[in-house]
Structure 1
Amino acid sequence: MSSYEPPLTVTPSMLALVAEISEHVGQLTAYREDSLTPQLRRGNRIRTIQASLAIENNTLSVEQVTALLEGKRVLGLPREIQEVRNAFSAYDAMPTWHPNRQTDLLTAHNLLMQGLIDDAGHFRRSGVGIYRGARLLHMAPPASRVSTLVQELLGWLGRSAWHPLIVSCVFHYEFEFIHPFADGNGRMGRLWQTLLLSHWRPVMAFLPVESVIREQQDAYYAALAAADQAAEATPFVEFMLGALLQALVEAVTTDQVTDQVTDQVSKLLTILPPGMALRSSELMQRLGLSHRPTFSKTYLKPALAAGLIEMTEPASPRSPTQRYRRVLG
């Protein structure tokens, strides 16, 4: 049995972040365990998938990803549409996987990359370097070492005594360092970290931390590079713990804001009878509002996020003929 231990310096900053994250997770679990409806789960999952793929240069918007999930036709590149469909399949299957089982890791990669690369579900068979422009950022270990390195990393997952938050971040970095697949390593690393976190606290399965990473994409890659230079995961772990904390704070804040605007959303639903589709200007007129930003922030967006209303043209959010209607059922 391998005794591999990823190099890491546990810093006071890490411990402080772990404590703060744990506190927020407790609050979120207590607040949302019974109120995390299928609509909220779906909304967070859509944001997760859209952001994770956007990091890999997929250009589809949240609205287009939502439309794909609903089986609607979306104008987009065939590869990008396939990436979204694959990602939904992978995240839907996530609860059936065990984090330290290699067969599950390969199955996940096959779902994520099916129809996109020839060797989906198989480790790479050649060397690979990560470039930005013409500059080499990272040369991954040789292909002949990949299987052994992955086995050692998964074995460490099963016996590590570190806090699950730290373990998930270390795994994410080590996985990207090994770069075990010909393509899809970034989205696989983020997916597997989510799987690890969900085994710690189920509510973490629907935390869209990928949205935070997408907003801080340069810092994400800089943290990976800093960890490479330091020859240990410490800089990347600190970055990822910070991203997790930010995602949790935003999740709690979103819930609090949603509570505060319940009356406004109720008013919006009252003036939008089932079966009727109205433009935003018509909705504002019925509500007696003239300030569009207020209407958007406190009426329209919360109702859309809660899945209570929907766009008639989700693939074209800014369409001049866009209307909104009640979601029935």
Structure 2
Amino acid sequence: MKPPYEITGKVLSLIASVSEKIGEVNAVHLNKPPTELRKRNRIKTIQSSLEIEGNTLTVEQITDLLENKRILAPKKDILEVKNAIKVYNQLDKFKVYELKSLCKAHEILMADLIENPGKLRTGSVGIVKGSNIAHIAPPGEMVYSLMTDLFEYLKNDDDLVLLKSCVFHYEFEFIHPFIDGNGRMGRLWQTMILKEYSPVFEFLPIESLVKSRQQEYYNVLGKSDEQGSSTLFVEFMLDIIKDALEDLLRVQNINLTSNDRIMNFKQIIGIKEFSRQDYLRAFKNISQATASRDLKVAVDNDIIEKYGDKRTAKYKYK
């Protein structure tokens, strides 16, 4: 059954705005951001998503963990971060339309933090905020069928992937399929879905914007529960995605390295043969000498093959 939500004027406007910004991102070759930016954004993603759940580690401490340095922090917090690093480092291994794959991601994310990580709950659970019960999740015996229906919607419904990612996120939090770790898993799997829409989302720190509007995030989840529809949550998340893309576009003047350009161009040209002029047309802000150096380094590093010489030279990715 299709989850209940409405495609409002605000939803349509936000989808149009996000689509426009994706076009701008592609035009300035930020669909695969530079290596340093990818690393920085991945750290922000992990830190923000876990901070929402009460983790105390800072961006600097997570950076140290990535560099195998020792830090002083609660063992549980360190383990949460290490597990999250493992999951985010293997996003390409998970299958976005398979419940089994989501359970595997949860198993890694919550390893040694809860009993039976990766197993759907079979008991009842309620979400408490302060002294109030904020949400009573569906009974445990319904979880598997509800999650199966949700994945059926994700895989087969004709709605835009962008829209389905937001609906899935809300429905996942409503079902609350695991004993713990549902918040971070819901945000992670929305990233997985958005990757299907555009590769830029793999390294876009949407979670940091959710963290900056954390109370609004919880409020809109609650209001959507009351209304029996994810419409308000969809509007909220589309707005978050739009803002995240705007933030990315503000750093478009950062310098791409030679390797960044070579790997970005591979996304553009694929396995087709190309010339130096083709390469220059993709990167209008570099000189002919820089283009020649990029291509020479790529040839030397066995990334591309070269045919011919000088101006008549042709290239092809291996």
| Aligned with 2:81 (options 73, 84, 98) | 84
Whole-angstrom distance in 2 between the partners of 1:255 and 1:83: 32
Partner residue in 2 for 1:231: 228
CA contact (8 A) 1:8 1:233 kept: yes
Q: Deviations over 1:211-239 (max 9, x none)?
A: 00000000000110110011000010000
Q: Give ranges in structure 1 of 5+ residues lacking alignment.
A: 260-329
Deviations 1:177-209 (A, max 9, x none): 000000000000000000000011011111101
Distance in structure 2 (CA, Å) of the matches to 1:30 and 1:77: 44
State the Cα deviation string for residues 139-187 of structure 1 (Å, max 9, x = none). Answer: 0000011011001100111111111111000000000000000000000
Correspondence for 1:29 among 19, 26, 48: 26
Task: Provide the residue aligned with 1:192 in structure 2.
Answer: 189
Secondary structure at the aligned position of 1:32 is classed as coil
Q: How many residues align?
A: 255
Deviations 1:240-263 (A, max 9, x none): 00111111111111334x46xxxx
Q: State the match for 1:9 in structure 2.
A: 6
Deviation digits for residues 72-123 of structure 1 (CA, Å, limit 9, x no counterpart): 0111000100011100111111111221201101100001000100110101
The counterpart of 2:65, out of the listed 44, 68, 72, is: 68
Q: Which runs of 5+ in 2 are unaligned?
A: 256-318
Would the alpha carbon gap of residues 12 and 35 (structure 1) be closer, same or farther in structure 2, given more than 3 Å must change? closer
Q: CA RMSD in A?
A: 1.2
Contact 1:68 1:74 in 2 (8 A): yes
1:30-58 Cα offsets, whole Å, 9 max, x none, are 21348722222111111100000010010
Secondary structure of 1:137 counterpart: strand
2:218 aligns with one of 217, 221, 239: 221
2:85 partner letter? F
Whichever residue aligns with residue 100 of structure 2, its letter is T
Separation (CA, whole Å) in 1 of partners of 2:36 and 2:220: 34
| d(CA) in 1 for partners of 2:90, 2:104 | 10
CA distance in 2, matches of 1:149, 1:142: 10
Distance in 2 between residues matched to 1:203 and 1:134, nearest whole Å: 40
Quick one: percent identity of the two aligned structures?
Answer: 44
1:112 aligned partner = 109
CA distance in structure 2 between the aligned counterparts of 1:112 and 1:150, rounded to whole angstroms: 19
TM-score, with structure 2 as normaliser: 0.78
1:178 aligns to what? 175
TM-score normalised by the chain length of structure 1:
0.76
Amino acid at match of 1:142: P
1:99 and 1:154 in contact (8 A); partners too: no
Task: Return the alpha-carbon distance in structure 2 between the equivalents of residues 132 and 33 of structure 1.
Answer: 39
What pairs up with 1:1-329 in 2 under 5 angstroms?
A: 4-33=1-30, 36-256=33-253, 258=254
